[in-house]
């Protein structure tokens, strides 16, 4: 399902747009009328995204860029602005992550993930924000975080720490930059399988099945579901939503949080027994 015309006339920059959720959003936003700019580290993947869009009649530009490098960010945004004149919406989607016992991490491993997720998100936001503010232009920033940004999670400490920082940034800038007409929103996805998550986060099939068992809706997310949410949040229909994070995880994190949620596994006899015992005077 696509809301055609929802993003007509919008120019949207997506970091990490060469693969996974970034590519899915790029294609979906284009189907909804937006012109797309994608940046990321791998030229071949970015070109594929742009070609997919152009082959359907859309407009797309790409530029290689590691979001940890401020010169590369500046160069990429200059290139997009030369071609698109303005960027209305920034989607900070670029991420790096892998599962590991924390005691096995090197400082460099921590720096890599935090560098991409927290520093990279800040650097790109700062670059766009300065341009919007000095040109008196409105803007929207959508940051892709995760549900463990507020719960934390074992085995992904760098990512959890970085995503928590991004969420704090969303809420801080939502207040600080609203006076410039810049709106901040975030999406906290649960598991949305992509090539990278399969390789880096769920390399063992059994782990993916265990995660699915924890999701009340009994499945992982679909790309068009997160893309539709993202499209709404960056669109003019969401013009009064600022500083909010929307969870899209099939109820996963709440299932882990509720004290009695494991009672879902009880059968009828066990429920009858509980009732009998608890009603005894
Ligand atoms: C332990 C690891 C490791 C691993 C890398 N390192 N992988 N340590 N376990 N699996 C260590 C390296 O040994 C090195 O430390 C340091 O991390 C940097 O590694 P490089 O490969 O040199 O860094 P770089 O090329 O910058 O790669 C960054 C990366 C990589 C994060 C490490 O995985 C990457 O580029 N990922 C991008 C794609 C990705 O991860 N997508 C998934 C996003 S999903 P030393 O000390 O040896 O030099 C996501 C969703 C979260 O974020 C929500 C899920 C539910």
Q: How far is the CA of 98 from the centre of ligand 1 (A)?
A: 6
20-31 and 223-234 helices, crossing angle to 10°: 60
User: Which residues have a catalytic role annotated?
Assistant: 148
- Does residue 86 have its Cβ closer than 6 Å to ligand 1? no
Q: How is the chain split into domains, by residue range?
A: 11-278
Per-residue pLDDT of the chain (281 residues; tens, 9 = 90+): 567 789 999 999 999 999 999 999 999 999 999 999 999 999 999 999 999 999 999 999 999 999 999 999 999 999 999 999 999 999 999 999 999 999 999 999 999 999 999 999 999 999 999 999 999 999 999 999 999 999 999 999 999 999 999 999 999 999 999 999 999 999 999 999 888 877 777 777 777 788 899 999 999 999 999 999 999 999 999 999 999 999 999 999 999 999 999 999 999 999 999 999 999 86
Q: Please tell me whether residue 49 adopts helix, strand or coil conformation.
A: helix
Fold for domain 11-278? Rossmann fold (3.40.50)
Q: Which CA distances in Å does 99 have to 17, 19, 103, 253, 269?
A: 22, 20, 12, 18, 39
Distance CA 241, CA 184 (A): 8
Closest C-alpha residue for ligand 1 atom 30: 96
pTM: 0.94
157-176 and 120-134 helices, crossing angle to 10°: 20
Q: State the DSSP H helix or E strand holding residue 22, giving kind and residue range, or none if neither.
A: helix 20-31
Q: Which atom of ligand 1 is nearest to the CA of 41?
A: 35
- Does residue 110 have its Cβ closer than 6 Å to ligand 1? no
């Amino acid at each position: 399902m696509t809301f055609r015309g929802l993003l007509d006339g919008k120019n949207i920059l997506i970091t990490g747009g060469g693969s996974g959720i970034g590519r899915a959003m790029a294609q979906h936003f284009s189907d909804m009328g937006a012109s797309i700019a994608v940046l990321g580290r791998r030229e071949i993947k970015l070109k594929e995204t742009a070609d997919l869009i152009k082959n359907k009649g859309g407009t797309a530009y790409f530029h290689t860029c590691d979001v940890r490098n401020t010169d590369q960010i500046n160069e990429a945004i200059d290139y997009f602005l030369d071609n698109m004149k303005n960027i209305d919406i920034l989607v900070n989607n670029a991420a790096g992550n892998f599962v590991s016992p924390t005691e096995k991490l090197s400082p460099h491993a921590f720096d890599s993930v935090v560098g991409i997720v927290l520093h990279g998100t800040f650097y790109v936001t700062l670059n766009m924000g300065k341009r919007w503010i000095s040109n008196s232009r409105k803007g929207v920033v959508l940051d892709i975080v995760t549900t463990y940004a507020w719960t934390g999670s074992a085995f992904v400490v760098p990512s959890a720490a970085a995503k928590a920082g991004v969420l704090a940034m969303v809420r801080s800038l939502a207040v600080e930059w609203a006076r410039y007409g810049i709106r901040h929103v975030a999406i906290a996805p649960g598991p949305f399988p992509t090539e990278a998550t399969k390789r880096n986060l769920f390399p063992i099939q059994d782990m993916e099945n265990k995660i699915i068992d924890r999701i009340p809706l009994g499945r992982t997310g679909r790309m068009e579901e997160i893309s539709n949410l993202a499209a709404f949040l960056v669109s003019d229909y969401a013009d009064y939503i600022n500083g909010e994070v929307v969870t899209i995880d099939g109820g996963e994190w709440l299932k882990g949080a509720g004290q009695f949620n494991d009672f879902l596994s009880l059968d009828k006899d066990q429920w009858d027994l509980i009732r009998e015992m608890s009603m005894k005077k």
